[in-house]
Structure 1
């Protein structure tokens, strides 16, 4: 059951990452003005780096139950809990809790943490 919860955390994290990337490109960046243009490009790339990192962690969470090494599995879960936890706190703080992203990431943290076995 714990393995299923960890994999569910990965699936939810993958969905959150994809929504994060798509909403940025369709709703946020078309509406904002940033000068100079190369700074705008830099901000887009940095934003999408977090999307790619979340996708990578999500894939690792999905695959974690099949790892041969329990230590590797625990590290993936621990790093995911810290990463998504900090992202959830940052999102909640920056949006004053008015954005759904922090809730989704908090659920990811809770599901992933069920698989942690120190």
Structure 2
């Protein structure tokens, strides 16, 4: 396993994640969501679309962290993978619950994934 290649992959994931969110927001999401036709009349639908787009970028950043952990401390990868996944999904679930005022059906599942992964660190 090449540490240099893993570091390169992690760096590419971080850059791709940032570009995906920034450029996607400006060139795709903004213009699409400005058109309030059909399903996009729903504020919840617009929220879910935007959130799903950006959560992809967050997922890529978490994967980059896990790749970085493989290089820096291979025995700790299991802990870092659980911690990164747990913290990310707990935050995503809480954000989804608060920002959708509980209307998004996925928030309990997202939060549950995060809390379960965090609980695994204590077991």
Range into which the TM-score falls when normalised by the shorter chain: 0.5 to 0.7
Tell me the alpha carbon deviations over residues 7-59 of structure 1, each in whole angstroms, 9 at most, x when there is no partner: 10000011111111111211111211222122111111111111111111112
Mapping 1:1-118, distance limit 5 Å: 2-32=2-32, 33=35, 34-69=40-75, 72=78
Task: Name the SS for the 1:29 alignment partner.
Answer: helix
TM-score normalized by structure 1?
0.54
CA–CA distance in structure 1, aligned partners of residues 2 and 76 of structure 2: 13
Unaligned 5+ runs, structure 1? 77-118
Shift of residue 64, structure 1, vs aligned partner: 1.4
Q: Provide the residue aligned with 1:92 in structure 2.
A: none
Higher relative contact order (CA 8 A, sep 6+): 1
TM-score normalized by structure 2?
0.52
Rg larger in structure: 2
Question: Greater share of helix residues, 1 or 2?
Answer: 2
Worse overlay, 61-70 or 50-59: 61-70
Cα root mean square deviation, aligned: 2.3
Unaligned 5+ runs, structure 2? 82-123
Question: After TM superposition, where is structure 1 displaced by more than 2 Å over at least 4 residues in a row?
Answer: none
Number of equivalent positions: 74
Check whether the contact 2:17–2:57 (CA below 8 A) recurs between aligned residues. yes
